[in-house]
Structure 1
Amino acid sequence: MDLNFLEQKLNKYENPKGRLSVLFVNKTGINYESFRPSVSNNVQLEIVKLLKETVQYKRNSNLAAVSFNPSGHESDQYSVCNTDYVGNYQEVINLFDESNETEMLVDKISFIVFRLRINEDSEEQKFLYFYRKNHKLKSIRKGFWMRKIDKTFNILENDELVAIDGEIDAVSFNDKLLFFNHISAERIFNLREKFKENALSVLEQVKTGDRINNYEVFKEDCLDNARVVRRLTKIQSDSRIIDLFHSHFDNAPEVAELFDLNISFNKDKTKIIYEDKSQLTDITLLMRDAYYRTVLANRKGMDDFN
């Protein structure tokens, strides 16, 4: 699945004829509730038109597909990963079949999912899913909204308006996910919980090397810091990094001195002495081997993205 594939399918089914379903989802913590409203074919037509325009714009912008990075991607890129990466993909998809019969209040909608059926009637069902974080319409401090119907203006209740802007935060098909907005994607899926699982796995590796005094406090502080959790998740994608941290730990005091890091060591320089949260960034970047010095110009630097 790529942008060309999405554009092709949206062109083919630009008149959805009942193929498009809409799902309102409320997410509180890691828990979900959903409601599946009835949507007229005219509204379906407009939604598909907006989605198609958005995909065409992204394709014409020559966005490059890159592997998912917890730190995000550049403005000229979009991220790709397998659906099992997010941990609870199937739970979100199943909300279509487990939706409540009671109508959801508009101000409770966390995000909206548009599901487009892209198979012929004689074929096995296949769906494209488009995800968009709900952006609530700003209430006016005084007054009200009006809509003109047959030359007459009627009052519209602001708490009954749902904004559909055509923007896309994520798309899924089969076992692939595309992310265009990382922060929204984290709020749609339980990525933060998945990241914590990954971070905990890394911290267990760190524990086995016995290189950090006051390890339990260090672990809890790491798991309580979203930025550090993302950094540890990146480490988890390459199991060699922590092995290198352990096997080359003799170089750690030199790196700490060269880059003036907020890291102190025991007398024989075999362990880091963890004291407080102000050290988390420097210690975890050291663990990632993120500090470097260039060969040509002997410049010092730090890489916390790749």
Structure 2
Amino acid sequence: MSTQKFDSAKLWDSFNFNRNSLMLHLTGRRYNGSLFSVTPTINKSIQEGIINLIEGQINYYNNQNLKQYDIVGSNDDTVEYADPNDFINELGEIFNSLKKPTAINNIDPNSFDFFTYEFKSANNESIYVFRKINRMKALKKGILGEIANGSFTKIKSSKLLGIDNAIDFIVIDDKIFIFHHISLERVLKLKDQFKDKAKDVLSNDEFAKKNKKFLINSRKEH
């Protein structure tokens, strides 16, 4: 049986979106665990920049192995796919937050956890691209500045947010395409699901037999 391959052109064509429809959302969690989102306005230049980086990243993964998502772990050089219905509660919480954005009033950028780039397709369906936020920790320890009129001037880094050239996963139609396994789990807070799956594996009779055999062989070698 041949291995499935990720087709970047097919996915990008399926976007079929209005380039002016891009919205940028930033989402974080309150102390009680509930989500909040803000939706700042972005100019056309930033819109085009984000679209280009998303297209570039999708193309980067072209022809990599395509496998169904497994919460236990992932393989290198592999794009995973999943059914959004498997995460209906987690995604539903995020989407509800995006639909009811919080007013932007002196919100600390460090309170955000991830970006969501939202597009509208030709039939007005939403397409969501997610990326964990780069908190630019390295820059906070140094000095960030700009050169203007021959002088180097420090820029306050506490309010900076970096949009890098990576994407973590895409929710489109009835599929999730996952490029960074661990980021999906962090964005959706899948820690409990992982624990449950680990318990299932550890309690599996076949696993117990193999583990016992491994321990016996290890003792013989010593």
| TM-score tier (shorter) | 0.7 to 0.9
Q: For residues 136-177 of structure 1, what are the alpha-carbon distances to aligned partners after superposition, in whole Å with 9 as ceiling and x for unaligned?
A: 1123435x3223457765432202211111211111012321
Gaps in structure 2 of 5+ consecutive residues: 1-5, 216-222
What is the SS of the residue equivalent to 2:134?
coil
Q: Tell me whether 1:229 sits opposite 2:204 in the alignment.
A: no
Q: Which has the larger radius of gyration?
A: 1
Aligned counterpart for 1:47 among listed residues 38, 47, 50: 50
CA shift at 1:30, angstroms? 4.0
Task: Give yes or no for contact 1:291–1:301 (8 Å, CA) kept in 2.
Answer: no
What's the counterpart of residue 141 of structure 1? 141
Could you tell me how far apart the structure 2 residues matched to 1:3 and 1:88 are? Answer: 26
CA shift at 1:301, angstroms? 6.2
The count of corresponding residues between Structure 1 and Structure 2 is 204
Could you tell me how far apart the structure 2 residues matched to 1:3 and 1:73 are? Answer: 19
What's the counterpart of residue 103 of structure 2? 101
Letter in 1 for 2:178: F
Could you tell me how far apart the structure 1 residues matched to 2:147 and 2:47 are? Answer: 22
What's the counterpart of residue 115 of structure 1? 118
Relative to 1, partners in 2 of residues 1:106 and 1:67: Cα closer, same or farther, differing over 3 Å? Answer: same
Could you tell me how far apart the structure 1 residues matched to 2:171 and 2:7 are? Answer: 10
Could you tell me how far apart the structure 1 residues matched to 2:42 and 2:55 are? Answer: 18
Relative to 1, partners in 2 of residues 1:44 and 1:154: Cα closer, same or farther, differing over 3 Å? Answer: farther
Letter in 2 for 1:64: N
CA shift at 1:188, angstroms? 1.0
CA shift at 1:286, angstroms? 4.7
What's the counterpart of residue 7 of structure 1? 12
Letter in 2 for 1:19: S
What's the counterpart of residue 175 of structure 1? 174
Could you tell me how far apart the structure 1 residues matched to 2:186 and 2:113 are? Answer: 9
Could you tell me how far apart the structure 1 residues matched to 2:11 and 2:108 are? Answer: 31
Matching of residues 1-306 of structure 1 within 5 Å? 3-8=8-13, 16=19, 18-28=20-30, 30-59=33-62, 62-86=63-87, 87-103=89-105, 104-119=107-122, 124-137=123-136, 138-141=138-141, 144-148=143-147, 154-193=153-192, 195=193, 228-232=195-199, 235=200, 285-290=202-207
Task: Give yes or no for contact 1:65–1:79 (8 Å, CA) kept in 2.
Answer: yes
Relative to 1, partners in 2 of residues 1:83 and 1:146: Cα closer, same or farther, differing over 3 Å? Answer: same
Cα RMSD between the aligned structures?
2.8
Structure 1 length-normalised TM: 0.59
CA shift at 1:27, angstroms? 2.5
Structure 2 length-normalised TM: 0.79
CA shift at 1:2, angstroms? 5.8
What is the SS of the residue equivalent to 2:95?
helix
What is the SS of the residue equivalent to 2:141?
coil
CA shift at 1:35, angstroms? 0.7
Percent of aligned pairs sharing the same letter? 18
Q: Whose relative contact order is higher, 1 or 2, with alpha carbons under 8 Å and at least 6 apart? A: 2
Relative to 1, partners in 2 of residues 1:148 and 1:116: Cα closer, same or farther, differing over 3 Å? Answer: farther
Relative to 1, partners in 2 of residues 1:9 and 1:153: Cα closer, same or farther, differing over 3 Å? Answer: farther
